[in-house]
Structure 1
Amino acid sequence: MQELKALKIRIAFFITLIGVSLMLAAIMGNHWAVMSPKVDDFTQPCEVAHFGLWKLCTKRITVEGNDVVSTLCGPLSLPGETNCSYFKHFTSGENAEILQVTTQREYSISAAAIAIIGVGFMTMGTICTLLSFREKLDYLLKPAGLFYVFAGLCMIISAEVIRQSVHRMIDSKETVWIEYYYSWSFGCACASFALLFICGIALVLISLPRMPRNPWETCMDAEPEI
């Protein structure tokens, strides 16, 4: 393997590891979206919610009269008591009853399943990339790049499913949430898609045979790579 080609692979793999880290942070994080209800009486605590792929958390916030800047509860950075519950389709019990109303079961379980598939693709891509550094195993770069591309696509699809879930919750007449915004976990998912997709394509292109230098030079006549 040529030194320049090896350098390109290492750079692409390093950037890919950043995408992998962002992907894992997004999957484990519970801040994909933050939702706030309308508050009429700020003398009483209000509840703001944030959720991820696995559970939803509610935070009871008490807002002083001088700090009221809108009719919404929050912001989330204010101090308060936090209570988290796993989604109903993962656990059972009274603690998860709130999720029957405030979440859409099909959306949340689909987003989680797609993200898990993405982790599988990411793992296979990392294994293939590491093996490609060994002598005579550089042909594994192409499947590694494709695995990373598929992992990135899984993350952006999962993010879109969550986005649709949020819109469906906000539009539902059975929910108290009227305002929302996407938080850092959602941003990590989108960033990981960009890095994994671009670096995956880069690894595939690096793994391709060198193009002929002259019009009359064929690929078979080209000098073999060391």
Structure 2
Amino acid sequence: MHKNTKVKIAIFVLLVGMASMFTSVVTDYWAVLSPKVDQVNTTCEAAHFGLWRLCKKNIYITEENTVGHGCGPISLPGEHNCTYFRHFTPGEESEILDVKTQKEYNISGAAISLFSILFMILGSLCILCSLHKGKDYLYKPAGMFFAFAGLCAITSVEVMRQSVKRMIDSEETIWIDYYYSWSFGCACAGFALLFLGGLGLLLVSMPQMPRNPWETCMDAEPEHMG
């Protein structure tokens, strides 16, 4: 396969990875949380959240078999209300982050995701400069930037996973049930595509190694006897 074809495939994989990561960062379905349902013919408050915003939904419960279990599913109709996390406002707490360590986890996940976006932007600039000016050596730093973006993405995923786990385990929160939703899946897909695409671009841009040692010897200029 020709080198240019390999570069185009790597760039396509990276574009899909960037779209997945951007989608995960701007959407609010990383995790869905549910409190315990105590009785029927009343409302319970389920929630879903992302890196920046928490959305709560009041769901009216009518089925007896939901008593003692989690509220939901979140797709049921109900009154919807969203509020942004006050990540960078000192002294202000969000309702969902009742425990200080949970807020720290959430802030860390959001900050790391911003580093991922920054690396994606730097990698994209390197590729654009390479395509515009024909400087193939820029593919190497581009590949490294995208690989770093992928590592930041999976780090953000793990931090948010730990945050959700602490929320469920804490006695200070009302949540008893949870599951990870499609925004979380987009972040995982973004990690895989960015990391593998970045490594692929880096390997394709490396100088081609000789197939065997004899090729190097045969290509060398003969020595002249003095």
SS of match in other structure, 1:84: strand
Look up the match of 2:154: 156
* Aligned: 1:165 with 2:163: yes
One of 104, 112, 137 as aligned partner of 1:114: 112
Look up the match of 1:212: 210
SS of match in other structure, 1:132: helix
- Where does the alignment leave 5 or more consecutive residues of structure 1 unmatched? none
Residues paired across the two proteins, number: 219
> Against the structure 1 CA distance between its residues 7 and 70, is the aligned structure 2 distance closer, same or farther, given a 3 Å change threshold?
farther
- The amino acid that maps onto 1:81 is E
Look up the match of 1:101: 98
SS of match in other structure, 1:45: strand
Q: CA deviation at 1:133?
A: 2.1
| Aligned-residue identity in percent | 57
* Aligned: 1:52 with 2:50: yes
Q: Aligned equivalents of 2:122 and 2:76: distance in 1? A: 41
Q: CA deviation at 1:65?
A: 2.7
Q: Aligned equivalents of 2:97 and 2:4: distance in 1? A: 52
Q: Considering only aligned residues, what root-mean-square deviation do their CA atoms show, in Å?
A: 2.4
Residue range with higher mean Cα deviation, 54-63 or 213-222: 213-222
> Against the structure 1 CA distance between its residues 8 and 116, is the aligned structure 2 distance closer, same or farther, given a 3 Å change threshold?
same
> Against the structure 1 CA distance between its residues 64 and 126, is the aligned structure 2 distance closer, same or farther, given a 3 Å change threshold?
same
Deviations 1:14-73 (A, max 9, x none): 111000000000000111011111111121100001111011111100122367486221
Q: Aligned equivalents of 2:215 and 2:208: distance in 1? A: 11
Q: Aligned equivalents of 1:203 and 1:149: distance in 2? A: 10
- The amino acid that maps onto 2:41 is T
Q: Aligned equivalents of 2:91 and 2:83: distance in 1? A: 10
One of 24, 29, 33 as aligned partner of 1:26: 24
Q: Aligned equivalents of 1:197 and 1:171: distance in 2? A: 32
One of 7, 13, 17 as aligned partner of 1:9: 7
Deviations 1:147-198 (A, max 9, x none): 0000000010000000000011111111000111100010000000000000
